[in-house]
Structure 1
Amino acid sequence: MTAGEREVRCFAWAPDSASLVIVTTDATEYDAVFGPANVWEISIDGGLPRHVAHFRTAPSPLVIVDTGTGPVVAARVDGHREDPADSIWIVPLAGGEPRNLLPTVTGIVEEIFSLPGSENRVGARIVERTHGRLYSVDVVSGELQALTPRALGERGSVVHGVSISADGRRVAVIWTDATTPEEVFLGDVESQATPLTSFGAAFQGRLQPAEHVSWMSDGVEIEGLLTCPAGFQEGRRFPLIVEIHGGPSWQWEDRVMLNWHDWAQMLASRGYAVLLPNPRGSTAYGREFQQLLQNDVGGGESRDLVTGALAMVEQGIADPERLGIAGWSWGGYLTAWTITQTDIFSAAIMGAGLSNMVSEHGQGDIPSANLLYYPGQPYDHLDAYWASSPIRYVSAVRTPTLILHGDEDARVHPAQGMEYFRALKTRGVPVRFVRYPREKHGIDERAHQIDLMKRIIDWLERYLGTAVNR
C-alpha cells in the first residue's frame, strides 16, 4: 500500500473503512519523530496517497472522528518550541492546517483513544500536575467532560490500560497511588469503581504515603511529592534524597514508586525521606512552565532542586548534613550538573546521565530532541551546549558519586558516564562506575536490577548513613 522514501510511523482507519490515514517521516531512525511529519490518506486498494496535513513533529497516535461536517483527524502531538506541551491537535480529513484543540489546558495529553457511543468526541488521558485523569473531548469545541470514576479522580493517577464499554458508560483502567501498586479498576463514568485485581496485596500496609509539597524558587512555584521514611516522627530529622525524573519533558505523578527506576519506597523503607520534584521544564504544568527550560538548560531547573532540598530542611524534615541527589537519564544529567554548582549534597547517583552536551549530541540516538531546549544545533551554538555541560565545571565537584549505565545504551552513550568518571577519579573525588552488560537505556535483566538497587543502598548508607544508625 505504501512505497517510496518514507517511514510509516502510525496509522488509523478512516470511518468508512475504505482507507487508512498514515503518518510518515522522511527518515527512518527514531530521531525523526522530533522533526517534521506528514499525514496522508491512502485507499486500501492502493494507489497514490492524498496529502492531508503537515506537522512540525510526528504525531502518534491518530484517531479519526466522524462529525456532522465531515471526518476530523485527531492527533496527540506537540507544537515544537512554540507550543511544547503534548496536546490534541485536529485537522479535517479533507485537508487543512492543524490546530491545537486544547491551547489553554494546564496539563499534558499522554494518550488519546476512540470513544464508543459518542459523536464528535475522542477520549484522552491527561496528566494535570501530579494526577492522571480521563476525559471525553469534543473535537469541534474542545469541551472536556470527566470520565474518571469519581473515587479514582480525586487522588492517584490513571496510568494506562484504558478500555471503554461499547455504550460509553463503563470504564476499565489501571490506577495507582503512592501506597497502591497498579491494579485494574472497573467503574461507571464519573461514579464509583471497584478493583478487579490484587497484584499489590503483598505490599498492603508496607508502603509510605506521599505528601504534595511546594516551594518557591526564583519566584516560580515548584511542586513535588514527599515520601517520608518508615517510622517517621515529627520533630526528628532524616536523611533526604532528591530523586529527579528523566525527560526532561516528563513529570512525577502520584503513583507507586516501586521498581528499579523509581526508588522512593525502597529508600523510605531504609529510613530515607525522598523528594520527587517537578522542576521548571516538567510537563503537566502548562506550556509556559515547560518553556522555562528553553535556552536555560541546567539553570533554573537545577536551582529548583536545591531550593526544594533546603525547603525540606527548613520544615524540619531533612538533616542538612545528610542530603543526597539522584536520577536517571535527564535526572542523571541534572545530578551531574547540580553537584558542580553546590556542595550541599553528600552523596550523588548519576544513572545513565549526560556529562558533555556537545559530545552527547553526536553520540545519542535523539539529537533532534536538543532542539526543543537549545536555540539550535551545537555546530552553530557551541557555547550554549558547552555552558550547560557538567564536565565543564567538574573541578568544583566534591560529592561522592555512583555512576550507573547500560553498556548498550543508544539513548545516552556510556561514554557520557565514562567522561564524568574519569574526571572525578583524576581529581580524587570518591566515584564508582558500574556498566551493565547487554543493557540499553533501561535496565531489564532482573539480576542487574537487583544489583543496581543494592549498590544504590550501599552508596547512600556509606555516605549518608541511615535514620537507624545516626
Structure 2
Amino acid sequence: MSSKIIEREIISLPEQQNKMIISGWGSDVFDKTTVEKITYLSDGLKVKGYIAYPKDNSKTYPCIIWCRGGYGNAGAIDKFTARGMFGQLASWGYCVFASQYRGNDGSQGHDDFGGDDVNDVLNLIPLADEIPQTNKNVWGIEGWSRGGMMTYLTLTKTDIFKAAIVLGGIANLRCNAEESKFMRRLYEHSLGNFTNEEFKKRCEERSIINFPEKLSRQTPLLIIHGNADERVLPHDSIDLSYKLLELNFPFRLVMLEGGDHFLKSHRQEVDEMRRKWFDRFLKN
C-alpha cells in the first residue's frame, strides 16, 4: 500500500471567517493548530484530503483518521469547516488525517461508497511519516454518517486503531433503504446503476451488521446516535449493538434524546464524550 503527500497548502481564511472559527471552536483552534489541504496518492489515484496538527513540535502526538459523510461532493469538507473541525481535534493534542475520497473535490477516480474507496482511508496511514509531530504507533479513527460505515469497514481490515468513534453511522444499508427517504435516494444515487442482485450484494458487502465478527477486537468502539435521527435511523446502531453484545465486543452505545442526524443540540456533550474517549485510549 503506497501513499504519499504530493501537494499541501496551509489553509488561510479571510479575517471574518477566522473570527467565526474562534467563536465556534475556540481560540486554541485558531492560535495553536495548523490545518492543510492536501493531495495524496491512494492506489495510484490523486485524492484530496486534509491534515491537521498542533503547532508545538517539541513533542509527538497520537494520530486520528476522520471519515466524512455524504456521497460525491455532497458532504465534502470545505476549507472553513476543515479549519474548525480538524483544528479542534488538533487542539486536543492529535494529528489528524482526513480524505474526501476518490472522485470528490477534484480527486481522481470514482466514489465507490464503501467499496475500493475504503483504501483511501487506509492509505492515509503512511502520511504520518511526513508529519514530524506524529506518534505513528498510536492511532484512532472517527466517522460520521457514511463516514461511520467507512470506519466500520476500515476496522475489518486492520488492528492498528486503539480507539474508534462512530456517530450516526450507517450499519445496515438494506435495512434502512425503505424506511428513510434520504437513505433511499442516497443508495439509488450511489449504488443504483446495477441489477437487483448486484445492488443487493453491494449493499450487503457494505453493511457491518452482516459481519460484525470481522471488526477488530483491539479497537474499543464508542457509538453515538440521536434517537430522532431521520436520515440514518437509530436502529442501525441499536441493532449493531445487539450483535456486539453477543460477540462480547468492547463497545459503548450512547443514544441522545431528541438528537437529529447532526446532533446539533448536543454538540458540547458530544465533543466532551469524543475527547474523553480518545484521551482514555490514545493517551494513557
Q: TM-score, normalised by structure 1?
A: 0.52
User: Does the CA-based 8 Å contact 1:241-1:275 persist in structure 2?
Assistant: yes
Structure with more of its chain in strand, by fraction: 1
- Tell me how far 1:337 sits from its aligned partner: 1.7
Equivalence for 1:215? 40
Equivalence for 1:326? 142
Classify 1:378/1:270 alpha carbon distance in 2 versus 1 (closer, same or farther; 3 Å): farther
Partner SS, residue 385 of structure 1: helix
Equivalence for 1:21? none
Any gaps of 5 or more consecutive residues in structure 2?
1-6
**Equivalent residue letter for 1:243:** W
Equivalence for 1:244? 67
User: Does the CA-based 8 Å contact 2:70-2:146 persist in structure 1?
Assistant: yes
- Tell me how far 1:329 sits from its aligned partner: 1.1
**Equivalent residue letter for 1:248:** Y
Find the aligned partners of 1:388 and 1:443 in 2 and give their Cα distance: 24
Query: How many correspondences in the alignment?
Result: 271
Residue correspondence of structure 1 range 348-387 to structure 2 within 5 A: 348-366=164-182, 367-376=184-193, 380=197, 381-387=199-205
Find the aligned partners of 1:438 and 1:378 in 2 and give their Cα distance: 38
Classify 1:373/1:354 alpha carbon distance in 2 versus 1 (closer, same or farther; 3 Å): same
Is 1:451 the counterpart of 2:269? The answer is: yes
Classify 1:409/1:238 alpha carbon distance in 2 versus 1 (closer, same or farther; 3 Å): same
Classify 1:270/1:453 alpha carbon distance in 2 versus 1 (closer, same or farther; 3 Å): same
- Tell me how far 1:275 sits from its aligned partner: 1.5
Find the aligned partners of 1:388 and 1:156 in 2 and give their Cα distance: 37
**Equivalent residue letter for 1:238:** Y
RMSD: 3.0
User: Does the CA-based 8 Å contact 1:229-1:267 persist in structure 2?
Assistant: no
Q: Once the two structures are superposed, what CA deviation does each residue of 1:407-456 show, in whole Å capped at 9, x if it has no partner?
A: 011100011111222222322221111111112112132xx222111111
Classify 1:375/1:316 alpha carbon distance in 2 versus 1 (closer, same or farther; 3 Å): same
Equivalence for 2:3? none
Is 1:285 the counterpart of 2:102? The answer is: no
Structure with more of its chain in helix, by fraction: 2
Identify which range, 315-324 or 297-306, moves more after superposition: 315-324
Percentage of identical aligned residues: 24
Equivalence for 2:223? 403
**Equivalent residue letter for 1:371:** E
Is 1:416 the counterpart of 2:236? The answer is: yes
**Equivalent residue letter for 1:350:** V
Q: Once the two structures are superposed, what CA deviation does each residue of 1:308-345 show, in whole Å capped at 9, x if it has no partner?
A: 12221465543333111102111122112211222221
User: Does the CA-based 8 Å contact 2:67-2:98 persist in structure 1?
Assistant: yes
Residue correspondence of structure 1 range 39-438 to structure 2 within 5 A: 156=12, 176=17, 180-182=18-20, 203=27, 206-233=31-58, 236-249=59-72, 250-257=75-82, 262=85, 264-282=86-104, 284-285=105-106, 289=109, 292-293=110-111, 296-313=112-129, 315-366=131-182, 367-376=184-193, 380=197, 381-397=199-215, 398=217, 399-438=219-258
Any gaps of 5 or more consecutive residues in structure 1?
1-128, 132-153, 159-173, 184-197
User: Does the CA-based 8 Å contact 1:230-1:270 persist in structure 2?
Assistant: no
Classify 1:396/1:316 alpha carbon distance in 2 versus 1 (closer, same or farther; 3 Å): farther
Classify 1:200/1:391 alpha carbon distance in 2 versus 1 (closer, same or farther; 3 Å): closer
**Equivalent residue letter for 1:203:** S
Q: Once the two structures are superposed, what CA deviation does each residue of 1:362-401 show, in whole Å capped at 9, x if it has no partner?
A: 2323102211211458954311210121223321212211
Classify 1:201/1:337 alpha carbon distance in 2 versus 1 (closer, same or farther; 3 Å): closer
Classify 1:130/1:361 alpha carbon distance in 2 versus 1 (closer, same or farther; 3 Å): farther
User: Does the CA-based 8 Å contact 1:313-1:319 persist in structure 2?
Assistant: no
Find the aligned partners of 1:464 and 1:201 in 2 and give their Cα distance: 22
User: Does the CA-based 8 Å contact 2:98-2:121 persist in structure 1?
Assistant: no
Partner SS, residue 371 of structure 1: helix
Higher relative contact order (CA 8 A, sep 6+): 2
Q: TM-score, normalised by structure 2?
A: 0.83
Partner SS, residue 214 of structure 1: strand
User: Does the CA-based 8 Å contact 1:130-1:252 persist in structure 2?
Assistant: no
